[in-house]
Amino acid sequence: MLETMASVPIQSCPETRMPKIGELVTVYTGNTAQRWSFNHIRQGIGTTVTIKFEDSEMTVDQSWFSCDTNRGPLLLQRLGFFSDIAHKRTTNSIEIWRNILNPEKMMHGEAMMVLLEWTIHGCSEKDKLGLPEAQNKTWLVDRSFWQSWEQKNEPQLVPPGKCSNWTCVEDEPVWGTEVKQNRPRKLLDTGFSEHTKITHPKGDTPPRQYVLPKHTRPNHALEDLQLMSCDYIQGTEGYYMPLKSFLSLRNCERMIAKIKFPIPIHVLDHIIIPIDIRESHWFLAHMNLQTRCISLLDSSYTYSAAAYPQQKMLIWKFFKMAWMTHASTAAPVPFWLINAARLTSLHPRMTDLTPEMLQTLGRLRNVTAENTFATINDQIATRWKRRGISPGQACDKPADPPGQNWTEVEQPGTPQQNNFANTKETRLACGIYTVLSTLYAVRNWKIDFTQQAHIKCEEWVGSSRPRNQGDSKPAPVRVWREIRAVG
């Protein structure tokens, strides 16, 4: 059954090995074989490989390639039950499907991504898997992309030896952190004032570079200077940062620019982001572009709550940058209306609230947008506006036009895992919940978690149903039986 589903050609001796740039690989789309070539190999969290065919590119994990001694070149096979409308995961490995039902490997990234792809897109042919094709436009963020996004946005200490080359930019870094360093600022003001600004014909002013003279480097102005890669200093000539920090900001911009959405981002219905916590637990971030709501679908809040502030910051930074880069200029700019009472729980790199401001807001009995703006200064208010965040009243369905105001919606009574004494059962339940919550989210099915708050996550798999009993769509228990049928 596995071979039939995945349309796997019979292989006499499947092997895996590291491909080489320029090497050819056979890719099956249905019954059609195409010869792609390896274009790029990136080492990191799982080696990802980019292959190219004419004007098309596809990035997959190295483990999805195998060598057949009879057929010659490396082989990569698209799953037989996926259509070619959207970018899909690929596999020709039966082992991957067996791992899906293995509690020890349920959290394996590639197995999870295959299940999420199947859950999100479904299949129009009912005789194959029984899961109806989703009638919406959903984009699933690749797990390797998100792990790289987390890494590139993690502030790194700039070594003192890297503080000799500086960059000056005209616009304040939207997601940077200003630090007050008067002695280095005066030194850099003098240095950059001696460099004439160069304006391109298009009107753009490129960043200016300045290298501290060797006799100035041991100067007391730079002693004990500790900067992180997200820090910058505001001066009379612009905004200064070490070259290492400037390159770090550019790397994030390039990551966003290279994203290839299946359709323009502003016409998507859903964005699903799988988030891995300490390589042992998954939860999903669901961005519903129809209702403009952000939800964290998590079956173990107590385990992953500490990561929420950082993940919320990364989610919004990613979405805002992707929107500004890829959305139509006519599409309204997204703005996140945050419940004022929850501002203090967000990541400090997102709000820039000082300890004094946090104490002031903490002493208030009722935190509102008005007293929040009275507490912060104009500079922070300007940064919030550029980042697209603002304190406001939380609501599930904003009345403004689509793409304007976003809100965060909590899922009350979400079934929680509490059996961490049995790691296998916990991991399996985590995988089941991740898949089923995606199933419900992208199909807009409703779950009344409040009435099922007493049900554990494992029991919920077999007890919940779509709210409309006349709905022909399968219940989660049937879906999971279909998944089990794969093995």
Q: Is 36 helix (H, G, I), strand (E, B) or coil?
A: strand
Q: Which run of H or of E encompasses 287?
A: strand 281-288
Q: What confidence score (pLDDT) does residue 303 get?
A: 84
Q: What confidence score (pLDDT) does residue 150 get?
A: 94
Q: Which own/partner contact pairs does 241-246 have at CB distance under 8 Å and 24+ positions apart?
A: 241/166, 241/167, 241/169, 241/173, 241/176, 242/158, 242/162, 242/163, 242/165, 242/166, 242/167, 243/162, 243/165, 243/166, 243/167, 243/209, 244/158, 244/162, 245/158, 245/167, 246/167, 246/169, 246/207
Q: What confidence score (pLDDT) does residue 177 get?
A: 92
- Determine the distance from the C-alpha atom of residue 255 to the mean position of all C-alpha atoms in its chain, rounded to a whole number: 11
Q: What confidence score (pLDDT) does residue 64 get?
A: 64
Q: What confidence score (pLDDT) does residue 2 get?
A: 38
Contacts of 283 (CB under 8 A, 6+ apart): 275, 277, 296, 297, 298, 299, 300, 304, 434
Token pair of 271, please?
């964005």
**Among the listed residues 3, 25, 122, the one whose alpha carbon sits nearest the alpha carbon of residue 75:** 25
Q: What confidence score (pLDDT) does residue 471 get?
A: 42
Q: What confidence score (pLDDT) does residue 100 get?
A: 57
Q: What confidence score (pLDDT) does residue 223 get?
A: 64
The series of mean pLDDT values per 10 residues for the chain, 487 residues long, is: 41 54 73 75 68 76 63 55 41 53 62 78 56 78 90 89 86 92 88 73 73 63 78 93 92 93 92 87 90 90 90 96 93 91 91 93 90 92 93 50 73 65 68 80 69 45 40 42 42
Question: Do residues 92 and 6 make contact, with C-beta atoms less than 8 angstroms apart?
Answer: yes
Residue 355 class from Cβ within 10 Å (0-12 exposed, 13-18 middle, 19+ buried)?
A: exposed
Q: What confidence score (pLDDT) does residue 486 get?
A: 39
Rounded to whole angstroms, how far apart are CA atoms 22 and 18? Answer: 13
**Among the listed residues 403, 118, 138, the one whose alpha carbon sits nearest the alpha carbon of residue 262:** 138
Q: What confidence score (pLDDT) does residue 347 get?
A: 94
Q: What confidence score (pLDDT) does residue 442 get?
A: 84
Question: What are the DSSP calls for 351-401, one per residue?
Answer: H---HHHHHHHHT-SS--HHHHHHHS-HHHHHHHHHHTEEEE---SS--SP
Q: What confidence score (pLDDT) does residue 3 get?
A: 42
Rounded to whole angstroms, how far apart are CA atoms 233 and 45? Answer: 33
Contacts of 15 (CB under 8 A, 6+ apart): 66, 67, 69
